[in-house]
Structure 1
Amino acid sequence: MRLKAETSLFLMVDFQAGLLPVIDGGLQAASEAAWLGGVAHELNVPIWLTEQNPEKLGATEPSLLQDLPGYRLWQKNHFGVMEEKAFADALAASGRHQVVLCGTEAHICVMQTGLGLLEAGYELYWLTEATASRREEEAKLARKRVCQAGAVAVSGDMVAYEWLHRCDSEAFKRVHRHFLKPRSPRPVRFF
């Protein structure tokens, strides 16, 4: 299925200040998420963030929020946010059935959230360059498992251009001017 801005939601899982320093590529993943978050905001795609036990792991990384103009924040105790009734009910009420997912740790909270979304019947898109774990191998295993369960691995550029759909619209001109210019070289990640 092709992603559409009007049916998508961008979900960032646990990019928390106390966790990112121990994540392999955590700050880079947060930067990639912030970039796509800017595109999502310009195209009116809802941006939702989660925090796992923020009293112990800290709040969301401030540099991510500074670049993210609009979002809804959910605090959770379950590893998979779909186990939080208020979140699951709000997602169902949103009418959005395509979820672009990223965050940390890939093999725990992101994977369990992804599996919960798939079980609930959502289309799931695993944003590879914005999903990381403490150990690279665990991030790879998480992506493989969730994709075998029905998710689709995507890149930020893939998502952005599918949301835009065409190059002759006002949305493309606006987003291209601010977000789709060449970015500084990024390390290639395959999680």
Structure 2
Amino acid sequence: MMNTGGITNAVRRLSSSTSVGKLKPENTVFLLCDIQDRFRPLTWRGETIINTAKYMTSVAKELDIPIVITQQYTKVFGETVKDTFADQEHFASCKIFEKKRFSMCTDEVKSHMQTLNRDSVVIFGIEAHVCVQQTCLDLLEDGKEVHIIADSVSSQQPYDRELALNRMSQAGAFLTTAQSAAFMLMQSAEHANFKAVSKLTVEHMKLPNEFNGDA
């Protein structure tokens, strides 16, 4: 039997006003994928991933964007790295989902996402070629518009990361950077939170970015 639901979602995505990848706070959710203590020393460019995740979660707080967090088999891989949030009270208020499936799109997460009713999904975390990629593909298949924060996505091996970014882009995801996403969400210097986000950006730019100079 033909999957008419999948076709309808694909057509809706192509015909929607956001099909070119514009982001609006009221229609966006951030997904923080498995940035856990055990992975921290193993991830290529790991400290940049964490620093950029902290920038993204801070932007989310300023723009009132919900954050969904997953942890892969917490008993083995540990808790989400606390340094991914500048504000630990904000961290504590976010929904965290335990999983063993690689994709973030577990039944619990999908149910929660339905309550949020957001069509644009911004993903950052690890590992690019496993959990991030499978999440991205599941969301695209479900008709969501997916944005990958390239400077906050990595794997243990750079080659895996590179191919995963290419794979996700070919599948229809938008590759972007943290700053690009943040300023697209505001759209104008007249935005009420422009000064706050600009201050976050200045502070973030003072930190080492290990992706600078990479091909």
Aligned equivalent of 1:26: 46
Please list, as runs of the form range in 1=range in 2, the aligned pairs for 1:46-57 lying within 5 A after superposition: 46-57=66-77
Aligned with 2:166 (options 116, 133, 144): 144
Percent of paired sites with the same residue? 28
Looking at structure 2, the residues matched to 94 and 76 of structure 1 have their Cα atoms a distance apart, in angstroms, of 20
Aligned equivalent of 2:78: 58
Letter in 1 for 2:131: C
Looking at structure 2, the residues matched to 169 and 55 of structure 1 have their Cα atoms a distance apart, in angstroms, of 42
Gaps of 5+ in 1: none
In structure 2, relative to structure 1, the CA distance for the partners of 1:21 and 1:67 (3 Å cut) is farther
Aligned equivalent of 1:179: 200
In structure 2, relative to structure 1, the CA distance for the partners of 1:158 and 1:146 (3 Å cut) is same
Confirm or deny that 1:135 pairs with 2:149: no
Tell me the TM-score normalized by structure 2: 0.83
Secondary structure of the residue aligned to 1:12 is strand
Aligned length: 189
Is contact 2:30–2:67 with CA below 8 Å preserved after alignment?
yes
- Tell me how far 1:67 sits from its aligned partner: 4.3
- Tell me how far 1:66 sits from its aligned partner: 4.7
Letter in 2 for 1:8: T
Confirm or deny that 1:87 pairs with 2:109: yes
Looking at structure 1, the residues matched to 43 and 182 of structure 2 have their Cα atoms a distance apart, in angstroms, of 25
- Tell me how far 1:62 sits from its aligned partner: 2.1
Aligned equivalent of 1:155: 177
Moved more, 178-187 or 118-127: 178-187
Letter in 1 for 2:64: N
Secondary structure of the residue aligned to 1:111 is helix
Structure 1 stretches of 4+ moved >6 Å: none
Gaps of 5+ in 2: 1-20
Q: Considering only aligned residues, what root-mean-square deviation do their CA atoms show, in Å?
A: 1.7
Aligned equivalent of 2:63: 43
- Tell me how far 1:180 sits from its aligned partner: 2.6
Tell me the TM-score normalized by structure 1: 0.93
Looking at structure 2, the residues matched to 169 and 109 of structure 1 have their Cα atoms a distance apart, in angstroms, of 34
Confirm or deny that 1:100 pairs with 2:125: no
Q: Deviations over 1:121-164 (max 9, x none)?
A: 11000100000100000001111111111101000111000111
| Larger radius of gyration between Structure 1 and Structure 2 | 2
